[in-house]
Structure formats: structure tokens, C-alpha cells
Amino acid sequence: MSDQLYNVAIIGRGPAGLQAAIHSGSKKAKVIVFGKPRNSGLYKARVANFCCSEDVITGKEMLEAGRKQAESFGAVFLEEDIIEAKSENNRFILVTESGGAFTFETLILAMGVARKKLQVKGEKEFVGRGVSYCVDCDATFFKGMDVAVVGNESAAAAGALALLLYARTVYLVCRKPMISDLLHERLKRSEVRILQDTWVKEIVGANEVEGLMLTNDESLKVSGVFIELGAKGAMELAANLGVVFDAETFSFIETNKKQETNIPGLYAAGDITGQPWQIAKAVGEGCTAGIEAAEYARKLADSERSRG
Ligand SMILES: Cc1cc2nc3c(=O)[nH]c(=O)nc-3n(C[C@H](O)[C@H](O)[C@H](O)COP(=O)(O)OP(=O)(O)OC[C@H]3O[C@@H](n4cnc5c(N)ncnc54)[C@H](O)[C@@H]3O)c2cc1C
């Protein structure tokens, strides 16, 4: 697949991504949406305060209805995580967990925010002292050390593979891998030590992380533990693309009223642009991003046609 088939790509199929797909599709853009519904903040919610929803609609039902609606506007869905994103020559290149590489003219980031914590003893206490939520940010601190990555999905698998470049030993602690066959094969061929059917019971240490107690009663001596629950971290993907984050907290993508980021052709919408973390805000921004991205793609096509 390539930019000939789709001109607007959306990472994220929560309310922001779905609304963006509906509005881009309605402007006749060729839209593809990446992501998994179960990783949306909305998936487990019972929605109380979204206009016209009353207290009868579950988040899961809303996400399914949104997908069907976006499909009716021509959007195509690929239920895969993006594990790499970069921009080259005014184009955006996305790599999926199953190894597909796609090039697009326009990209909308709608990956929500990562709220997932492991919630075990030692996690809070050792944040920044061996506990990390970002392989791309912290891998270099663990050169030559033994580390563990905890998680079942693409973020954990990709993180463990990336850590091999730095750490001496990399363990992947997972209950059951929920990743593509290709990523699974890469893991099996790599030096990552997979500890399956187990989970972290406690993170132990004195001043810094010294090890993990696992639910199968084994203990693991490690100096670092990377908690990677869910998909590849939104901020890591965004940082790779070179987007500017908000100056105050450095944790949200900065956009203008058109949902444009600092990079031409790159838009962001929903929780990823900051609070309030609400569906109403996500769909509002998704609508604007969808319209603007479609318009950007149309202008680009027009100017390329006129240049012959
Ligand atoms: C328990 C709970 C209850 C809530 N109740 C309400 C409520 O009553 N009213 C309300 O207004 N809001 C509520 N919210 C908040 C609301 O769910 C969020 O504000 C909303 O879902 C944000 O939408 P979003 O599209 O920005 O992100 P999300 O809905 O979080 O969607 C993010 C999407 O990005 C995808 N993604 C992330 N990383 C990648 C990647 N690397 N590759 C591919 N895809 C990726 C995910 O798979 C997901 O599809 C609730 C949230 C929770 C957790």
C-alpha cells in the first residue's frame, strides 16, 4: 500500500481518529486508520456526559458505531499498531507491527494518552530510579545492564528489541503476547529472553531498582524495568516526527486552531493535545483535523498536477 491509495493516514481509532476519518472521508480524501479499539480510553467507559448519548451507550458500542460510520464515508481500517513513524521529503512513513511500511502525504496523530500503570508495589517509588515508561527516552541509561520490559503488546515487544542495542540482557515479562506473527518471529530469533505466563508482583530494591518478584514466584535481578502496556507510546512516535510539545509540561502536542502541528501536513487531535480528556473535545478536534488534512492533501495534489 502507498500514498497512491491513501492520502490521509490517521493513527488512533478512538473518538478523535474516528471523527477525523468521517470528516476527511466526507471531503473525498482517501483515508486509512490504524489502531485497535480496545486501546482507546473509551473502550471500557460508560459515557455519561457526551451530548446526546445519555447514560445508555457504552464506549465499546460508540467505537463500533464510529467505525461503521467512518467506513460509510470510505475510510479503511487496519487493526494494527504503528511501531515507527518518521518524516522524509515532506512525506510520512509509518511502519506497522506486522512489518508493513506506508508512505503518506498527510498524517493525523490521534493516539490518546497512556494512562496504564502496572500498579504494583515499588512502581511509584522507583519511577526515574530504574522504573521507566519510555524505552526511546531512557534506554541509553541502561548500557551494559540487565533490564526487563513488562507488557503483552507491540510496545513491549518493540521496546525489548530496541533495548538489545544497549542492555546486556533483556527480559520480556508477559502473560500472553498479543502481537503480530512477524513481531513474534523477530522476538524469537532475537536474544530477548521471553518469560511468558507470568507477571510482575513487586519491584524491589533499596534506593534503585534491583529486581522483580514475579507471580510464578521466580525473582529476576535487573537494574531497570520498562513498563510498556498497550501500543507504542504516543509521545515516542510524535517525538520521532519532530513535533513540538507544550512548553509547560512537555507532555502534549502543541497545535493551532486548525489542529496543525509545527510540521506541514501533520495534525493532532484528542487527548494527545492536552486536557480536558473528554470525548466532546476529541471529536471537535478530530473534525477540524480531518477537514484540514483533506484540504492539505487536495492542495498538494493540485500543485503537483499543475507542475505536470
Ligand atoms: C474509564 C473511562 C471513562 C471515561 N468516561 C468518559 C465520559 O463519560 N465522558 C467523556 O467525555 N470522556 C470520558 N473518558 C475520556 C475519553 O474516553 C477520552 O477523552 C477519549 O477516548 C479520547 O479520545 P482520543 O481519540 O483522543 O483517544 P483514545 O480514545 O484513547 O484513542 C486512542 C487510539 O489510539 C490508538 N493508538 C495509540 N497508540 C497507537 C499506535 N502506536 N499505533 C496505532 N494506534 C495507536 C489506540 O489503539 C486507540 O485506538 C473516559 C475515559 C476512561 C478511561
110-119, 154-163, 213-222, 271-280: range with lowest mean pLDDT: 110-119
Q: Which of 4-18, 33-47, 64-78, 146-160 has the highest mean pLDDT?
A: 64-78
- Is residue 7 classed exposed, middle or buried when 0-12, 13-18 and 19+ CB atoms within 10 A define those classes? buried
Q: Which of 3, 238, 237 is nearest to 103 (CA)?
A: 3
Cβ count near 153 (within 10 Å) = 22
Which amino acid is present at 132? S
Domains of the chain: 8-114+233-306 (3.50.50.60), 131-227 (3.50.50.60)
pLDDT in tens, 224-234: 999 988 656 67
Residues with C-beta less than 6 Å from any ligand 1 atom: 11-17, 34-37, 39-42, 44-45, 47-50, 81-82, 110-112, 231-232, 234, 237, 270-272, 277-280, 282
**Residues in the chain, how many?**
308
Which amino acid is present at 175? R
Distances (CA, A) of 235 to 135, 259, 279: 11, 17, 20
pLDDT in the model for residue 53: 77
pLDDT in tens, 123-168: 989 987 899 877 766 788 899 999 999 999 888 998 899 999 999 9
**Between 277 and 70, whose confidence is greater?**
70
- For residues 159 and 230, give the distance between their C-alpha atoms in angstroms, rounded to a whole number: 12
- For residues 164 and 174, give the distance between their C-alpha atoms in angstroms, rounded to a whole number: 17
Look at residue 277 and give its three-state secondary structure. Answer: coil
pLDDT in the model for residue 291: 98
With 90 as the cut, is the pLDDT of residue 196 above it?
Answer: yes
- Asked whether 268 and 288 are in contact (CB, 8 A), the reply is no
Nearest protein CA to atom 26 of ligand 1, as residue: 270
pLDDT in tens, 86-114: 999 889 999 999 999 999 999 999 999 87
